[in-house]
Amino acid sequence: MNFESILLPGIDSKRPLVIAGPCSAESEEQVMETAQQLAAEGIKIFRAGVWKPRTKPGGFEGMGSVALKWLQRVKKETGMYVAVEVATQKHVYEALKYGVDMLWIGARTTTNPFAVQEIADTLAGTDIPVLVKNPVNPDLELWIGAIERLYNAGVRKLGVIHRGFSTPDKNVYRNIPQWHIPIELKRRYPNLPIICDPSHMGGKRSLILTIAQQAMDMNYDGLIIESHCSPETALSDKEQQLTPSALSEVIHSLVIRDSIQSTEDLSTLRGQIDELDDKIFELLSKRMRVSREIGQYKLEHDMPVLQTTRYGEILQDRVQQAVKMDMSSEFAKKILEAVHEESVRQQLVVMELARK
């Protein structure tokens, strides 16, 4: 897929592209006050939630189409572009009618191929930039499917928003980053712009700078950050919204590294990584050979392949060891589970061959 630039006329191509504004457009006064403050800080693209999906009824679900008139006023009085989230054919029609400059598809909508296809069909023949948020759960193929539906409808100005993924476990993040998923997406589509959403990823103002810097370190193209003129009175997601002045501090605190120069400087270190990866697979190959020998032993002595007590002890011991070596327990657990799964498979192969 060949994607076109999502940059709007007059927007500097220098990283990061910043899209900012309130989680929800709550009133004309709130929208205009926030927009004027953001414009004074140099922000060029104003975002605001017009239609807000909520898990349960009764919560603030946005002001609807009336808020699009406020965004028209933002464009006229500040010169900023405006962006909104769309989830239905009607949303798209309304946004285009009121001159919205950029659209994004939310995480919940991305999970629904029927909804994405409806939006794609409605956008056929238009030239508006569209950003696709990752689905709620960590499903790369579902994310790619949404991108392909839009592309097949003729939408070429496409980008994605990495907003993190839901988890049932307690975590410092509202939505865990799982950076490896957007990294794989970028590997498959190198020219696809990626925007980071540190507001939804962190869920707290205190995490926004850290997450934004991590995104810049991974060469993301931009940031979409929630900003409100009075966050403490916000009708939705007040904990993760920054004042325009605080947002400006975050943006100016970011270190934007020269990715081309760093790639040249890292060639030696990357060579070391390649050598270490080779050694890792050599060791894994040896481990699997031992696993097959264990499988043969268990076969000869009529022992079951799976011995949960032994595995539990190994898992606990190795995870503790990994933590002492400055690795996360979650990472160590995933590695060990994958190795154990393959070891069991190797032992089952031995037993299956013996039966033939």
Of the pLDDT bands very low, low, confident and very high (cuts 50, 70, 90), residue 279 is: confident
* Domain range 266-355, its CATH number among 1.10.3720.10, 3.10.580.10, 1.20.59.10, 3.30.365.10: 1.20.59.10
Tell me the pLDDT tens digit for each residue of 123-167.
Answer: 999 999 999 999 999 999 999 999 999 999 999 999 999 999 998
User: When comparing pLDDT for 343 and 226, which is higher?
Assistant: 226
**Greatest alpha-carbon span in the chain:** 82
Beta strands in 193-264 (DSSP E): 194-196, 222-226
CA-to-CA distance for 35 and 46, rounded, in angstroms?
Answer: 7
Integer angstrom CA distances of residue 233 from 198, 230, 239: 21, 6, 10
State mean pLDDT over 170-176: 87
State mean pLDDT over 79-103: 97
Of the pLDDT bands very low, low, confident and very high (cuts 50, 70, 90), residue 265 is: low
State the DSSP H helix or E strand holding residue 131, giving kind and residue range, or none if neither.
strand 130-133
Of the pLDDT bands very low, low, confident and very high (cuts 50, 70, 90), residue 223 is: very high
Question: 296-327 b/e with 16+ CB inside 10 Å = b?
Answer: eebbeeeeebeeeeeeeeeeeeebeebeeeee
CA-to-CA distance for 223 and 17, rounded, in angstroms?
Answer: 6
Other C-beta atoms lying within 10 Å of the C-beta of residue 280: 10
Q: Are 105 and 95 in contact (CB under 8 A)?
A: no
Q: Do the two domains 17-257 and 266-355 of this chain adopt the same fold?
A: no
Tell me the pLDDT tens digit for each residue of 241-264.
Answer: 999 999 999 999 999 986 544 444
pLDDT value at 90 more than 80: yes
Indicate the pTM of the whole model.
0.77
Which pLDDT value is given to residue 305?
75
**Cα 256 to the center of its chain, rounded Å:** 19
- In degrees, rounded to 5, the angle at the alpha carbon of residue 8 between the alpha carbons of residues 113 and 192 is 45
The CATH superfamily label for domain 17-257 reads Aldolase class I (3.20.20.70)
- Written as six digits, the tokens of 22 are 């309130």
Q: Are 226 and 247 in contact (CB under 8 A)?
A: no
User: Which residues face 21 on adjacent strands?
Assistant: 226
| Residues contacting 140, CB < 8 A, separation 6+ | 181, 184, 185
Helices (H) and strands (E) in the chain, counts: 14, 8
CA-to-CA distance for 252 and 15, rounded, in angstroms?
Answer: 12
CA-to-CA distance for 125 and 115, rounded, in angstroms?
Answer: 18
